[in-house]
């Protein structure tokens, strides 16, 4: 009997607040149009900090400047369209963005960016990609900020080739 190893999907997310409004993306999913924090999967060879900066640029066409680490979030999702059981491990950061980069297209599947206040976010829960969208924002508003260096990325992440230590 083959042993099945559980492997969550590791993602990063950005919480961006400006003047009481939060930057979200509206994206096409198997379940239809959904709202999400700028977020995505980490790529091999990048740190979580590098990943959240890259994902935010790809999805919003804006440069993200992380200021705080918000936390580690685990969620489980049963994909209605495929009945797939997926677990996400999300590393969330809070920070700010600059103006959109002229001529920069949004990532495939991203329809638009939108700024919403907390009341609008709460009223649109049914359209959120997951419960983590609002949870990360509420944690940010509650002041759950940690130093960026609370997440350590070893230099081996950037090594061109991994050699066994034994």
Distance between CA atoms of residues 50 and 14, nearest Å: 12
Residue 36 predicted with pLDDT over 60: yes
- pLDDT number for residue 112: 98
| Backbone φ and ψ of 157, nearest 5° | -60, -35
Give the strand pairing for 9-18 and 39-41. antiparallel
Q: How confident is the model at residue 163, as a pLDDT?
A: 61
Sequence spans of domains, the chain: 9-158
The CATH-assigned architecture of domain 9-158 is Alpha-Beta Complex (3.90)
Q: How far apart are alpha carbons 61 and 101 in whole angstroms?
A: 6
**Amino acid 149: pLDDT:** 95
Place of tokens 């083959």: 2
Query: Given this model, what pLDDT does residue 78 score?
Result: 80
């Amino acid at each position: 009997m083959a042993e099945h190893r559980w492997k969550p999907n590791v993602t990063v997310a950005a919480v961006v607040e400006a003047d009481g409004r939060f930057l979200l993306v509206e994206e096409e999913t198997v379940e239809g149009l959904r709202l999400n924090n700028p977020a995505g999967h980490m790529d091999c060879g990048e740190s979580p900090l590098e990943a959240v900066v890259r994902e935010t640029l790809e999805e919003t066409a804006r440069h993200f400047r992380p200021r705080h680490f918000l936390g580690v979030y685990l969620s489980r999702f049963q994909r209605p369209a495929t009945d797939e059981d997926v677990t996400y491990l999300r590393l969330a950061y809070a920070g700010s963005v600059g103006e959109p980069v002229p001529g920069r297209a949004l990532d495939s599947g991203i329809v638009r960016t939108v700024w919403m206040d907390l009341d609008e976010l709460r009223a649109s829960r049914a359209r959120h990609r997951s419960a983590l969208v609002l949870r990360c924002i509420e944690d940010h508003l509650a002041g759950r900020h940690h130093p960026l260096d609370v997440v350590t990325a070893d230099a081996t992440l950037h090594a061109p080739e991994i050699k066994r230590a034994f």
